[in-house]
A and B are shown apart, each in its own frame.
Chain A
Amino acid sequence: MNRHAIERILRKVPRENAFYFFTSIGNYTGENAASLEEFMEKLKTVNPKSLEFHLYRGDFERWIAETLEDKELAERIGRLRSSSLLGERIREELYSIVSRRHRELKSSSFSQN
């Protein structure tokens, strides 16, 4: 992946394109993330109901693929969807997947500088 593509994935998106965490239809937690790094940090603290809600609707994959434009990470999260995990187990797995990808992107970016 070239440097430009990595920077694009790691960029901060405008407020209207951020990821907004809900616990169910129409119930917004007040938490949102406007970059992959912010998303990773929110995964540590957001209500586990929100993680279940978005994972099984495919919202995380969609936002990461369409807004951050990281198809690779979206596919990895998509595989987690078939695991039928709940609550805190989703948090652990999701955080692990996202933080690993974040490290990969950061180190690739660093090596290309």
Chain B
Amino acid sequence: MDKGRLPMKIKDNGLVLDELDLNILKALQENAKQTYTEIGRRFGIAHSTVYDRIKKLEAHGIIKKYTTIIDMEKMGLRNVTAIMTIFTNPKQSENVAERISEFSQVVEVYTSLSEELLIIAKVVADDQESLHSFIANQVAPLPGVLRIRTSIVTKKFKEENLPLPKNIVSEVKFISSHLNNRSENK
């Protein structure tokens, strides 16, 4: 086996990733429109290898989807984006989070444990009135919602996916050697 391409188990789900997989993921994060040939050329491998690796990553859900970040302002669509903090009854929090996730206007949903149990959600609406109408008519009436704080976003400075950490290869190698040691000791 090539040096630097040791099979490595990231999670205990049977999937084995190696350094090449991680490099392909990083390349796709930079630009998902790159061809298999371009990626292959970059890492000195055949495009068919890139294809096989990407299909494996897709099949295991490591690559969840390919999407496009649209600049709505340039399209003349001045949407209102807001961060909604929902204070909930702890017993119904999961249910509230699930119900909120079903709305198309809600693009991100998180639960948070601070002093109170919170749900934090990012909402996009056509304008402030439709934002308010959505929160008043769809969110506030949900059982378990105690109160809601909403902050309207006035300016966006950054919006990107979290890149793979630079030291991920060494971290994965560490996990791999740890697993290898465990299996040797058995």
Report which A residues bind B (CB closer than 8 A).
15-16, 18, 20, 22, 25-30, 32
Contacts and interface: CB of A to CB of B under 8 A. Distances in A.
Interface in B118-176: 128, 131-132, 135-137, 139-141, 143, 145-150, 152
By secondary structure, the A interface counts as strand
Given A25-B132, A26-B148, A28-B139, 9 more contacts: A20-B141, A22-B132, A25-B128, A26-B84, A26-B132, A26-B135, A27-B148, A27-B150, A30-B146
Contacts of A30: 87, 146-147
A25 B148 contact: no
Interface residues of B, number: 20
Interface of B: 82, 84, 87, 128, 131-132, 135-137, 139-141, 143, 145-150, 152
Nearest to A53: B132
9 contacts: A20-B140, A22-B132, A22-B136, A25-B132, A25-B152, A26-B148, A26-B150, A28-B136, A30-B147
B131 A25 contact: yes
Nearest to B84: A26
